[in-house]
Each structure stands twice: as structure tokens, then as C-alpha cells.
Homo-oligomer: A and B are copies of this chain.
């Protein structure tokens, strides 16, 4: 991790630096065994408490395509996906995440995954027939951060529906883009993810070097997953990409028409981090879903890491619109391999919400101005909280 003195301030107000190993007090040891070669985030398995209500949300409202379904589970995919699914909805007793699943480059990477996590002392389970339909030989682990991670290569191919414009909706979701995880100690998590082969693309820090969040990728987008500081392990959100911004607006319009606008938690808006256009929804169980479009290519090995000041009012919303408190505080439980919720560990570092909004928070739009001085900006809603 680069000290701010060593970073370059851009004309847009954030900083860039070469990626560097992140320092943490209590690092997870790096295994001698090589990490599996991860291609991309591939699907999430969500436990939902009312399968019919979830089906209505993901299929009827959001327009995901049903590859397969029965009374217990629904397998959904986005428009351009050719693997079996990007989302599994499974009926269960509590709303939670059963797996963050990644596709690896080859069948051999499953052996590597077993060795890598076994060396870390993690619980590892391999099922040659897969844990869900449409996916073959798979490895699931309880990772050192407490998350249920899955790795697989074999999968049934299904038809890519990119050319089936007769099926497309105004808010068409074309790709699974990323996961986002809540964890108490972000540098510790990032350090571990670097060992697993992830590359850091962006982060949020304060001047003292406290890391509030970090974004990491395998495929060459801004992220396959991100680590958000907070009590964890929890799942912050799962994100699907659209082609254009109006597709995201169309989802809002449709939710309004269905009198379900309260499913809109935050946005739409433009992120500072990632430069993407975004929207956050909450599904019937409160699982958070992001709709996302137009970040940037990150596939070069020397891709500059972008660092945002935690007090920069445009870091999470480039337009300075307020982040709602629930977005900082609420997240979904994650399950262990027996299906029981993982216990939470509390964040001990400062909370991003506490340092940026409300009476004790501090944020700026222009770094050289005192945010709390009397000026036109004071009508911004963030000032009301």
C-alpha cells in the first residue's frame, strides 16, 4: 500500500499510484500452494424466504432469464451469459448468502483451490457433481474471512441471448458484474485477496492510511469483488451490468409503475469509485442488488490504483448526493458450509459513515473549502443528517 505522499494527485481530485502489497497488522499467511487461476465472479447462491416473491422480483421486475427451476430453487442468468446461471435463488429459513461462486480457468484449478485453502486451515468441501444444478465438479470453502467461496470450471452451456432483442426489456441486465463483501478489517482482507491472485484497482482511505473499502479484480473491469469495512462477514451486494444508463433509469421507472419504488435504496447516480453509473435495490428479503454500467478496462499489469479520500464528497457519488445510512449499515448474513449463519466480528477501525455524514462527520466537495462554512452547498441533504 502506497503512502499518500507517494501518490500522484490527478486533475479530478483523487490519487493514483502503482499497486503495492497492502500492509496489515494481523495478516493471513500466504500459502505456499499456488492459488487457483480465477476467471471471474460467476454466480451467487442466495437463500430467500419466499421463493415466489423473489422470482417476481428477479424475473418479472428485473427480467433475468430462467434457465431452470423447481419448487426449491430457481436458476437465473443475464442476457449474454452462456454458462448455466449467474444467480441461484433457494428457498430457506433465513435470508442469507450460501456461496460467492467464481469460475476458474481449468479443471486443474480445483485441485489448486483445495490445496490453497487446506493449507490455510480452512474447511474445504469438494463435490464432483456440484452443489447446484448446471455446475459440475466444485469446491466450496469457508475462507479465512468467513465467507463461503466456491470455485468451479465445468458447467452446462446455454444460449447467449444477446441477439434475442425480441426478449429484451427496457432495463435489460446483460452481465453479472461483481460481488461486494463486508469485512471488519479491510487491509487484512485485501492482503488475503492479493494472495488469491486478485489485483487492487481502487480504494478509499483517509490521510492516516485507514482503509475504508477496496475494489479488486480478476477479469479486467474495476472489480469482481470489493471489500467494504463493517461488521462482517456479510454480503453487501451483488451487481449486474446493463449496456446503457437509460436501462438503469428504466428499472426505476418500472418500480415506480409497480408501486415498488421503496425497493430503490440509493441512486441512481454516478460513482466516483469505478466511474460507473449505478443503482442500488433491495430485494424482497432485503438482499442488496446493484445495477451498474460503464466502468473502465483494468487489465494491464501496471493499471494505476485509484485512491479516494474518505472525506471527498464525490467518492461514492460523483454528484455529491448523500449515501443513505442503511447502505452503510445493512447487509446480508453469509452461511457456513452447513448452512448456519457466520457470526459477525465488529469493525474496530473508524466507520466511513461516522467520519463522513451526520453531526460528527466531515466531507468536502472542494478540498480547499471548509465544508461546514455557510455556503450554497448547505442545502445538500447530507447536511441534514
A residues with a Cβ closer than 8 A to B are: 10-14, 39-40, 80, 82-83, 103, 105-106, 157, 159-160, 162-170, 172, 174-175, 219-220, 243-246, 249-250, 252-265, 268, 270, 272, 275, 277, 282, 284, 286, 294, 296-297, 299-304, 313-314, 318-322, 324-327, 330, 365-366, 375-381, 384-385
**Least CB separation from A371: chain B residue:** B262
B379 contacts A166, C-beta separation under 8 Å: no
How far, in angstroms, from A159 to B318 measured CA to CA in the complex? 18
State the CA gap A167–B301 with chains docked (Å): 27
Identical chains in the assembly? 4
Q: Quick one: closest B residue to A258, CB to CB?
A: B166
How many Å lie between the Cα of A377 and that of B263 in the bound state? Answer: 7
User: Which chain B residues lie closer than 8 Å to A261 at the CB level?
Assistant: 313-314, 318-320, 365
By beta carbon, the residue of chain B nearest A61 is B166
Q: How far is the CA of A327 from the CA of B380 in the complex (A)?
A: 10
List chain B residues, Cβ under 8 A from A245: 244-246, 249
Chosen A-B contacts, 24 in total, with CB atoms closer than 8 Å, are A12-B257, A40-B300, A106-B301, A160-B304, A162-B296, A163-B256, A165-B250, A165-B254, A166-B258, A167-B257, A174-B296, A175-B297, A245-B245, A246-B246, A253-B319, A259-B366, A261-B318, A261-B319, A262-B380, A263-B376, A264-B320, A324-B381, A325-B384, A326-B379
Structural contact, B381 and A262, CB atoms closer than 8 A: no
The distance in angstroms between the C-alpha atoms of A36 and B127, with both chains bound, is 37
Q: Which residues of B contact A220 (CB under 8 A)?
A: 219-220
- A163: B residues at CB distance < 8 A: 10, 12, 14, 256-257, 272, 275, 318
Name the distance in Å between A13's Cβ and chain B's nearest Cβ: 6
Distance between Cα atoms of A302 and B249 in the complex (Å): 31
Chain B residues lying within 8 Å of A11, measured Cβ to Cβ, are 159, 164
Q: How far does the alpha carbon of A297 sit from the alpha carbon of B233 in the complex, in Å?
A: 30
A-B pairs with the 10 shortest C-beta distances? A326-B379, A262-B377, A261-B320, A165-B253, A256-B318, A12-B163, A165-B257, A166-B257, A80-B296, A252-B319
Cβ–Cβ < 8 Å partners of A299 in chain B: 39-40, 219
How far is the CB of A170 from the nearest CB of chain B, in Å? 5
How close is A288's CB to chain B, nearest CB, in angstroms? 10
The distance in angstroms between the C-alpha atoms of A377 and B250, with both chains bound, is: 20
Chain B's closest residue to A380 (CB) is B262
Looking across the interface, which residue of chain B has its beta carbon closest to that of A325? Answer: B384
A264 touches B321 (CB 8 A): yes
- Tell me whether B300 and A255 are in contact (CB under 8 A): no
| CB-defined contacts of A314 to chain B, threshold 8 Å | 256, 259, 261
A270 contacts B258, C-beta separation under 8 Å: no
Known contacts A324-B384, A376-B286; decide if A297 and B365 are in contact (CB<8 Å): no
Given contacts A160-B304, A320-B264, contact A80 B297 (CB under 8 A): yes
The smallest C-beta distance from A43 to any residue of chain B, in angstroms, reads 13
Closest chain-B Cβ to A314's Cβ sits at a distance in Å of 5
CB distance from A377 to the nearest CB of B (A): 3
Point out the residues of chain B lying under 8 angstroms from A286, CB to CB: 376
A265 and B318 CA atoms in complex are apart in Å by 13
CB neighbours of A297 from chain B (8 A): 40, 80, 175, 219
A296 to chain B: which residues have CB within 8 Å?
Answer: 80, 160, 162, 174-175
